[in-house]
Structure 1
Amino acid sequence: MQMMIGVGIELGQIAKGVQNTPPVVPTSPVSYVASDGWQATHPDPSAFDPTTSDPVIVNRQGFDANGTPTLVTDTLALTTRIRLPYPDQETLTANQIALSDFVYTGDTIEATTNASTVPYPKPIAMWLNHDRERATTATHTLRLAVAHAHARSGRPVAAVKFILSDGTTEVTQTVSAMSSISYAASGLTVPHFSADMDLSTLQQGSLLTVDAVIYPWVGEAFTISVDADSYPSPNLTTLRLLNDRTGDYGTGYAYVDGTTGVDATGAVSADAPTAAATPFATIASAVTAIRAFNAATFGRGNDAGGGIVRLAEGVYGHSAFKTQGSAVDIPLVIEAADPLQRSTTVLTDAGSSKFNGIPPWLELRNITLRKTGSSVVFLDNGANSADGLLVTKGCVWDANATNYYGAWVYRVGRMVQIDCGIGAGGDPRQGNFFSTEAIMVTAIGCERCAGTITYQAAGCSDLPEFNLRDPLGSRPAMEGVFLGWNVFSNGATTNPIVSVSAPIGPRGIAFVGNIIESWGNTTNAAIRLNADSDTNPAQNVVVQHNTVTGERANMLYLDGMLNVTKTAHARFNLFHRFNVKSDVFASQPANSGNWPIRFKVGWSHNATLAGANNSSDFNALSWLGEIPADGEITGFDPLWQDDRSHSGTDTGGGSYTPMPGSPLPKVPLGQAAYATDLLGNPIIAGQSFIGAVTTVG
């Protein structure tokens, strides 16, 4: 059986005749595609044989590497006859055949009526930049991680156009080649699209709008400013970037030294060495002086934004400085005077709660944040929406062997953590679920620093869990969630390690390039994606190049009384066990909304080590599904380098790189969703194994 997902070609390249001979137009083996986009009517089902049936040639709208619209041709296979629902599951329908992937409402098929109402899936993306960055050179690098159901040729989409605007002038750059970036804290690599943007024609000192247009191989263009969230948001939205390419915006430096500093004689200067000679004793005094300096020197009254407070080595107890640190364009920065001494440049909670203690926008860089109190509030700006912004870059979070308290980092609005790690005293689990307050975490390249209010994460190691939640209080719905190139590992939880239990709409969810390792006392599912009596609909679910080891993946069940639509695209994943339950399990004839999962529509080249929890075969009763997808295998030893999950030594922290000779499927030519894995290894089509970490077999 030859399955779809072939490399797109222009319509005129489908077939070529000899000179002066009209091209041969392929006919279709089906006459009608149903409204669900995956069931097709066959003229002679009694003679249907999936191994010899002609494919369905589908013409689709899409884009090329320049972002230019083009017609794309994909080849879909006819996979199996479709049965009747419970209790007649042993009887086949009269003439319905399952397709290997969806036909969308905008597609055309020669000699076939397309009644599909399924829209093209949207791209799912995540910025690797944070909001309110400051560009201090003539070029500034923008980075966007992307996923899409119809990835191919080592790229999730055909191209991305990056856009910078000062409100009058616009600079754009379209890129198709992918880049990768590695993070020291996690040791992981994130493939993405990047562009070095030229700021020379944009107004100096202006706050630029950062936008992008994503051009999928198949589907419609996605413009962030139009199709994503309104600014500001913890979900995908536009960003703001200060254009300070000439340096004329101005920076006031203030140094703080708890040993030699004196608040009465401390001074701010635009020259860092000059400021270092007259340090302050406290952060609050330094920030107050920066605000006055900005007003007097740069004409920015009541604004400490853009100022930089540098801490000498030492331990500093946090005291409130919210009113002193207000900002207009960009955050106030507090950082270690010597970035190499971040482990000994420490800011603590000082043992007592500081409500409303930090400014609305604050960036902390290269310092250790240490917990000393028990149930105390440390960082809190009183935010009740996404207007708040706390950025931590290159920081160390240290629990100092104290107990967990969910409000240690409290109402900060958006919280973006980049390249942060955990100290010797353990993880304080900042950014966790607490009441209905506004804290919404984005984690990039961090060690463990995500918490349970994480909206998106890329390139993070040792994450204990993820929960996609319904909106609550000041936290909006999680839309277009992106989880890519992370390692989740948990040996103690009684909950699923990755849990999704909320409606998933057209913006979708991307789970790409991740490892989930279940070990120790964990007994629940490694991943529960709208399963276990979940009645939420789910669409545009993209699951690619993942390794789920040690425990089961429960995905997109319909095991209750309510029938809803649940669909997903899944390729190149390795599961320990895989379960999907539907009408037969529930004894509910109407429960067919997740049949695309059971019939593996949009699935290929996945592997399941130990089958389903009830079967190692494919049939109407099996939780593995009705049929195997193209390239799918089950029941084997993957030959890991070091299995420390439940199926190995059960100690956690394993290496899930397959050894040469592994029976794992390989990524077919032209079909890889990305060019590299989460360790930066190249994915070589036709040679590399599936999963999150690949080797050449």
Structure 2
Amino acid sequence: MSAFGFAGRARHRRHLALARRPVSGEILDDGWRMRRSGNDALPDSVQVDRTGFDSGGSPTTHRQHLPISTRVRMPWPDHALPSPTDLAMSDHIFASDRISGTVNGSLRESPKPIAAWVMPSNLIVDDTISWEIVAFHRDGRADPGTGIGRQVACVKVRGSDGVNRTDWQLVAVTSLSSGVVQEDQPSEVFAGTLDISTLGEGAVWLEAEVYPWVGVEASVLRSEDVSSRRGFSRRYYCKDAAKAATPPLVYVASTGNNETGAVSTDAATALAAPCLTVGGAMERAHAVLGSSAGALDGLRIRILDMVNIGTPSFGSYAQDIAGVVIERAPGVSRTTAVAVLDKSFRPFFSTSSLGENALMLVDVTLRLGGSFAFSGETASNLHVTFWNIALDTNGQSQVRRASSHFSAFGLDIVGRTSFSTTTSGELRICRGVTGDLDGRELEQWVTIGCTLTNAGNASLSNTYEDGRIIYNNAFLSPAAGTTPILFNRSAAGTGELGSIAVVQNLFETTDTTSLVNCSLSADNARGDLTHCVVLHNTNPGADGIGRWNVANDDTSGTRRAHGYVTFKANLLSQLNTKGDIFAGASLALADASERTGNFAFHHGAGCAGNYTIYPNAGGGGLACGFADPGLGSVEEGGDPLFIDDRSVSGTGGVYDAGAGDGDYRLAGESPARALLAQPVLAFDMQGQPRGTGAQAAGCYA
């Protein structure tokens, strides 16, 4: 017996033989099954010419040899028997693919990429705009030229003022983020600085197109096709050369005076006569700058010491495109420049050509002075951006919003707090957030580069919208019995869950209480996974503590039909998927034989290079596991040889809590190395290049 309490039997699926025997058969309409004609021998692979795009965004054809993984098994109760005709492909075939010697009956086509802008917008700019995008797709692969992993072929970005447009800026190589946002784990991004000198002054915006390696024209993600503000839609700026060079300034100090505060483009003049509160500074700016459209755009309110935010005493402030900025004064530390939210802050931004207004807190400390909210207007909601700030929770359990939306680009939490779901506004992005969530829920839309301790159950105000990304985060000591990543439909009926990317995250489970760290349309839930990209996650644990449940079809009264689940190079304590066998043997559902909605995932289509430490919840059997775990995958492999495993330990129901703060890089002799044949990412969680060739499972190279 191993230290893990079982014999450590490893079931490898390496599929290294690639003999190109002629194939006679048909790809079925679901795209992952091949139906043989006659009694031909089981072929090893098929040669596929795939319609797609190159690094310049031009149409091309990629030739690929796709292995055939196994025979499809029969449904419950004949699950011990192989299908006499059907074979499982190692990945999906699309309708636009061409296969030598085989009829392609697939009715599926490659989906659009999953992407997000990951930099602040609503800024005053001059002749350039810097941008960053993350993007994921089920057909990420090694670049044909360099052999380095990349999720999509390229990204194009251009600027527009509604009349004029810049040329497209094409970026086909990812890089580590330049540090605009403070984050513990550096993010791999597509990035550029766009020349917008040909655009007129006033409102300008960025448009983008994201090209997958494999797909047709309809598979290209275009920002102009997306209207959701928190989705991959346009990003707006105000081009104003004068304000970019010399913005209007108001200083705020504990010794200031709201009646005599100065508003000036000259820093010395404004510094000589500070206001007392942020609300008072806005009143003075309103009095000096006027009420014409955009009068307060780009106003910078500079904090000198600890001051109250307060709130203006009357309404109708003219902020249009670029946000009002609350920032620390030059020469003052972030710990000294403290803005205290001592009452609900309603800036009364009541005019905006964008339909919502913008407020930004930059490089200051925000201290909660009570149970107060950032409040927008019903007709013009407020978008509050936290940009490289410290949040002193001061014993308050939640950062509240009312008719307002939050975006965080660098946020250090002092104390404990939560960013929960609310009907009063969206949490649009959490990038570079570090802190203790106090066991409370985190609304997850786009969560990138965060270090989150004691996270509770995840939640979403709209779980069915496209574009959810959970990337490059460390979830440390999740709260007992909770699920930090949770994408399910709970209401009766069926429906798609929307596109989801869960990529290169670390989960350090330390509590001995059973919990599911990641639930993707799992137990007793609803919702179909139609484009779900799960790559390079590391999740140590003990037996089922910290387990992952993915792509189930076991809910009474509701059948599911999961499509494109790409599951590669994950290193997990335990992985479960339940369908017909579990529905029949454990739940005695009358329609158990039809619970095959997880069959593509269950047979390893889109799966490769994964490593599980323990048997699945069914003791390693088919009821909770795989007919084939995917190319190069290892099931029940035992100890993966982490450098310093400080997660929960034990087996057989006897567990010891983990100390935390472990090191989950792999020792050189780890059995979890060299499992994924080719890279799909360029960098690991530490920002180390992944290089070319076979890749280790988990978040570290």
SS at match of 1:388: strand
Unaligned runs of 5+ in 2: 1-12, 143-148, 350-356, 585-591, 650-655
Query: Which range moves more in the overlay, 653-662 or 501-510?
Result: 501-510
Separation in structure 1 between the aligned mates of residue 315 and residue 295 of structure 2, nearest angstrom: 10
Separation in structure 2 between the aligned mates of residue 101 and residue 345 of structure 1, nearest angstrom: 54
Aligned to 1:646: 648
Aligned: 1:404 with 2:397: yes
Instruction: Give a deviation string over 1:281-336, Cα, whole Å, max 9, x none.
Output: 222221122233333xxx94573221011011124253356836441121111111
Aligned to 2:696: 689
SS at match of 1:170: coil
Instruction: Give a deviation string over 1:162-181, Cα, whole Å, max 9, x none.
Output: 11111222122111111111
- How is 1:56-71 mapped onto 2 (pairs within 5 angstroms)? 56-71=46-61
Compute the displacement of 1:525 (Å).
0.7
Which residue of 284, 287, 290 corresponds with 1:289? 284
Aligned: 1:343 with 2:335: yes
Structure 1 counterpart of 2:33, which letter?
A: Q
Compute the displacement of 1:687 (Å).
5.8
C-alpha distance 301-230 of structure 1, shift in aligned 2 (>3 A)? closer
Aligned to 1:678: 685
Compute the displacement of 1:476 (Å).
8.0
Structure 2 counterpart of 1:646, which letter?
A: V
Whether the 8 Å CA contact 2:473–2:505 is kept in 1: the answer is: yes
Instruction: Give a deviation string over 1:377-433, Cα, whole Å, max 9, x none.
Output: 232224588x43110111111222x2524xx4222533111111012xx1222x313
Aligned to 2:527: 536
C-alpha distance 61-507 of structure 1, shift in aligned 2 (>3 A)? farther
Aligned to 2:479: 492
C-alpha distance 465-86 of structure 1, shift in aligned 2 (>3 A)? same
Query: Which range moves more in the overlay, 121-130 or 312-321?
Result: 312-321
Compute the displacement of 1:454 (Å).
3.0
Aligned: 1:627 with 2:614: no
Separation in structure 2 between the aligned mates of residue 322 and residue 395 of structure 1, nearest angstrom: 28
- How is 1:117-196 mapped onto 2 (pairs within 5 angstroms)? 117-136=107-126, 138-153=127-142, 154-171=149-166, 172-181=168-177, 185-196=182-193
Aligned to 1:111: 101
Compute the displacement of 1:449 (Å).
8.3
Which residue of 409, 415, 433 corresponds with 2:421? 433
Instruction: Give a deviation string over 1:233-287, Cα, whole Å, max 9, x none.
Output: 222221112223564786210111112x222321111122221111112222211
SS at match of 1:177: coil
Compute the displacement of 1:522 (Å).
4.1
- How is 1:268-279 mapped onto 2 (pairs within 5 angstroms)? 268-279=263-274
Alignment coverage as a number of residue pairs: 644
For CA contacts below 8 A with separation 6 or more, give which structure has more relative contact order: 2
Aligned to 2:37: 43
Aligned to 1:236: 232
SS at match of 1:241: strand
- How is 1:468-617 mapped onto 2 (pairs within 5 angstroms)? 469=459, 471=461, 477-502=464-489, 505=496, 507-550=498-541, 551-561=546-556, 562-567=558-563, 568-587=565-584, 588-616=592-620
Q: CA RMSD in A?
A: 2.7
Which residue of 654, 665, 672 corresponds with 1:657? 665
Give the TM-score, by structure 2 length: 0.86
Whether the 8 Å CA contact 1:79–1:99 is kept in 2: the answer is: yes
SS at match of 1:209: strand
Whether the 8 Å CA contact 2:129–2:196 is kept in 1: the answer is: yes
Structure 2 counterpart of 1:542, which letter?
A: V
C-alpha distance 303-247 of structure 1, shift in aligned 2 (>3 A)? closer
Aligned to 1:389: 383
C-alpha distance 485-673 of structure 1, shift in aligned 2 (>3 A)? same
Separation in structure 1 between the aligned mates of residue 641 and residue 334 of structure 2, nearest angstrom: 40
SS at match of 1:589: helix
SS at match of 1:58: strand
Compute the displacement of 1:120 (Å).
0.7
Separation in structure 1 between the aligned mates of residue 451 and residue 325 of structure 2, nearest angstrom: 26
Unaligned runs of 5+ in 1: 7-25
Compute the displacement of 1:151 (Å).
0.7
Structure 2 counterpart of 1:639, which letter?
A: L
Aligned residues with identical type, % of pairs: 26
Whether the 8 Å CA contact 1:160–1:213 is kept in 2: the answer is: yes
C-alpha distance 248-652 of structure 1, shift in aligned 2 (>3 A)? closer
Separation in structure 2 between the aligned mates of residue 289 and residue 686 of structure 1, nearest angstrom: 62
Which residue of 66, 72, 92 corresponds with 1:76? 66
C-alpha distance 139-303 of structure 1, shift in aligned 2 (>3 A)? closer
C-alpha distance 45-614 of structure 1, shift in aligned 2 (>3 A)? farther
Query: Which range moves more in the overlay, 676-685 or 458-467?
Result: 458-467
SS at match of 1:419: strand
Aligned to 2:92: 102
Separation in structure 1 between the aligned mates of residue 14 and residue 509 of structure 2, nearest angstrom: 35
> Is the strand fraction higher in 1 or 2?
2
Whether the 8 Å CA contact 1:362–1:390 is kept in 2: the answer is: yes
C-alpha distance 444-248 of structure 1, shift in aligned 2 (>3 A)? closer
